Amino acid sequence: NAGVTQTPKFQVLKTGQSMTLQCAQDMNHEYMSWYRQDPGMGLRLIHYSVGAGITDQGEVPNGYNVSRSTTEDFPLRLLSAAPSQTSVYFCASSYAGPGQGSPLHFGNGTRLTVT
Amino acid sequence: EDQVTQSPEALRLQEGESSSLNCSYTVSGLRGLFWYRQDPGKGPEFLFTLYSAGEEKEKERLKATLTKKESFLHITAPKPEDSATYLCAVQATSFQKLVFGTGTRLLVSP
C-alpha cells in the first residue's frame, strides 16, 4: 500500500516556466488537497477537492491550477513560476475531509526552487 | 480569524526527561484538533485527533489532551527516536481546511 505518492521529489525552475506536480493516492480517498510549507509559517492550503470533478480554492490559490479527473490523481500546475513559489509542496488525502474530522495522509513532498 | 500558536518553537531534552508541548488556538467553533509528527524531508504523519474539551488520547510515550483554549502533547520518558517536529492543526466548523501551527522542533539527546 503506497499511500500518497508525489513526484518529483526535487525540481528547479526558471522564472516564467510552467510545470505540473504529480500526486496519486491508492486509498480510495475522496478528499485531496495541496499545501505549501515555508520556513516560519504553518502549512497553507492551496487547493482542495472533495471528489472527482470537484475542486475549490484554499487560502493561497493564486498562480496555481488543479483538476481532478479521477479519484486517484490530483495534479498541481504552476502556470508561470515566480521566486515566491519556492517552497515545499505537500499533497494530502483523507477519507471524508477534515471538516468531518477525518485526518489527512500526506505525501513526502516536492521541494521546488524557482530562480 | 482562526489561529494556532505552538510553543516552544524548539525544545531540547535528555533521554528520559519528560516534558509537554503546547498548542493554543482560537477558532469559531472547533470541529477537531489534530497532532502530527514530521521528520526531516518527510510529510507530516498523523498522531491524534481530539474533538472536545476533556478528551485525552495516548500512543506509546505520547499523550494528547484538550481544553477549550489549548492542547498539550505530553512526552513521557522520551527516546532519541522521538526527535521530530510536532505540528498542531485545528479544524473549524466553517471551512474544509485545517489551520496549522508552525510546529515545535523536539530534539532528544541520548
**From B31, B36, B44, residue closest to A101, measured CB to CB:** B31
Residue A14 is classified by DSSP as: -
User: A16's torsion region: left (phi>0), alpha (psi -120 to 50) or beta?
Assistant: left
Spatial distance between the Cα atoms of A32 and A24, rounded to a whole number of angstroms: 9
Residues in chain A with CB shorter than 8 Å from the CB of B96 are: 31, 48, 50, 56, 97-99
pLDDT tens digits along B34-65:
999 999 999 999 999 999 999 999 999 999 99
| Beta strand B30-38 pairing with B84-92 | antiparallel
Least confident of A31-35, A70-74, A100-104, B64-68: A100-104
**From B43, B91, B101, residue closest to A101, measured CB to CB:** B91
Pairwise CB contact (< 8 Å): B97 & A4: no
pLDDT tens digits along A43-59:
999 999 999 999 999 98
Q: Quick one: closest CA in A to B32, which residue?
A: A101
Q: Quick one: closest CA in A to B47, which residue?
A: A103
pLDDT at position A17 is 97
Q: Does residue A21 have a pLDDT over 90?
A: yes
B9-35 burial: b if 16+ Cβ within 10 Å, else e: eebebeeeeeeebebebebeebbbbbb
Cell of B98: 485545517
**From A40, A98, A107, residue closest to B98, measured CB to CB:** A98
Which of residues 7 through 66 in chain A touch B, CB cutoff 8 A?
31, 33, 40-45, 48, 50, 56, 58-59
Residue of A23, A38, A43 to mutate, interface with B, max B Cβ within 10 Å:
A43
pLDDT at position B94 is 64
pLDDT bracket for residue B95 (50, 70, 90)? low
Residues in chain B with CB shorter than 8 Å from the CB of A108 are: 41-43
- Identify residue B34 by its one-letter amino acid code: F
For B2-64, the DSSP string reads -EEEEE-SEEEEETT--EEEEEEEE-SSEEEEEEEEE-TTS--EEEEEE-STT-EEEETTEEE
Q: By the CB < 8 Å criterion, does A90 face chain B?
A: yes
Spatial distance between the Cα atoms of B11 and B36, rounded to a whole number of angstroms: 16
